[in-house]
């Protein structure tokens, strides 16, 4: 596609429910990142994929958070038993692999509200 | 530990005046440096990057940034601000030895007044 696509754009869920957030990266981009942006805060790294593998999961806040990527393309971030502190904008980004000098392109984000 | 600092939460400038948004970083080895802009309810949009070479890099929308290795800074600049430049600006660094993540600053809100 022309850009990174995320769905849904907004999600309101009840505390304790599970949610799935989807990211469709730019075609051909093998690197994929998830970040979280809380209100008034900077960007918090969650996880990095290279192809279907996740060599860096160091930012996942707890075992309620998981992510997968299939076919070297679409990625899903799953939050189980959501808590109010999970409310944030979840941003996905992709980049071409190769060198660290490659910029990442971001989607518009999914705004998650846990009530 | 790797870190990026944007010391100003907010920068106010008048339209037509030059603007500077500051960024300093702490990273082992040589870094790759980036600036992103975020408009309300949007994702981050890439502006420019420093990889190597000339310390002054030019990017989108007339923005430029100057890499200063001795001061570990990468300040964003524009000679003449526009009201439409009002947005949230993020500096990011990526260590040469670790491509796994971008380290972002906390962001600086730029307000350009007519």
pLDDT at A1: 53
pLDDT at B40: 85
> pLDDT tens-digit profile of A78-93?
999 999 999 999 999 9
How much is the average pLDDT of A30-46? 90
CB contact under 8 A, A48 and B100: yes
pLDDT at B27: 87
Which residues lie closer than 8 Å to B15 by C-beta, 6 or more apart? B81, B82, B83, B112, B113, B114
pLDDT at A36: 96
Angle CA A17–A23–A24, to nearest 5: 150
Count other Cβ atoms within 10 Å, centred on residue B15: 15
pLDDT at A98: 58
How much is the average pLDDT of B59-79? 96
Q: Provide, as residue numbers in chain A, all residues whose Cβ is less than 8 Å from the Cβ of B36.
A: 106
> pLDDT tens-digit profile of A67-77?
999 998 999 99
Average pLDDT, chain A: 93
Q: Which residue of B has its CA nearest to A50?
A: B100
How much is the average pLDDT of B93-106? 87
**DSSP codes, B4-16:** EE---SEEEEETT
Decide: residue A14, CB within 10 A, 0-12 exposed, 13-18 middle, 19+ buried: exposed
Q: Which residue of B has its CA nearest to A42?
A: B106
Question: Could you tell me how many CB contacts below 8 A there are between chain A and chain B?
Answer: 57
**pLDDT-wise least confident of A49-58, A92-101, B70-79:** A92-101
Interface of B with A in 21-80 (CB under 8 A): 32, 34, 36, 41-46, 49, 51-52
Q: Provide, as residue numbers in chain B, all residues whose Cβ is less than 8 Å from the Cβ of A59.
A: 101
**pLDDT-wise least confident of A68-77, B15-24, B27-36, B85-94:** B27-36
Angle CA B76–A104–B107, to nearest 5: 40
Give the model's confidence band at B1: pLDDT under 50 very low, under 70 low, under 90 confident, else very high: confident
């Amino acid at each position: 596609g022309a850009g990174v696509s995320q769905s849904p754009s907004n999600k309101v869920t009840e505390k304790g429910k599970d949610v799935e957030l989807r990211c469709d990266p730019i075609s051909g981009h093998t690197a994929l990142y998830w970040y979280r942006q809380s209100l008034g805060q900077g960007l918090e790294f969650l996880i990095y994929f290279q192809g279907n593998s996740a060599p860096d999961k160091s930012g996942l806040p707890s075992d309620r958070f998981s992510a997968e990527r299939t076919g070297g393309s679409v990625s899903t971030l799953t939050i189980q038993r959501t808590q109010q502190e999970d409310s944030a904008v979840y941003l996905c980004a992709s980049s071409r692999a190769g060198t660290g000098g490659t910029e990442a392109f971001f989607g518009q984000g999914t705004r998650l509200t846990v009530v | 530990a790797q870190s990026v600092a944007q010391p100003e939460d907010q920068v106010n400038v008048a339209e037509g005046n030059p603007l500077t948004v500051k960024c300093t970083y702490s990273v082992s080895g040589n870094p790759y440096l980036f600036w992103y802009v975020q408009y309300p309810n949007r994702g981050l949009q890439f502006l420019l990057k420093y990889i190597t070479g000339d310390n002054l890099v030019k990017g989108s929308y007339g923005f430029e940034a100057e890499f200063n290795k001795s001061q570990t800074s990468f300040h964003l600049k524009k000679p003449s601000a526009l009201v439409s430049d009002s947005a949230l600006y993020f500096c990011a660094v990526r260590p040469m030895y670790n491509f796994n993540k971008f380290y972002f600053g906390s962001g600086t809100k730029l307000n350009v007044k007519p």
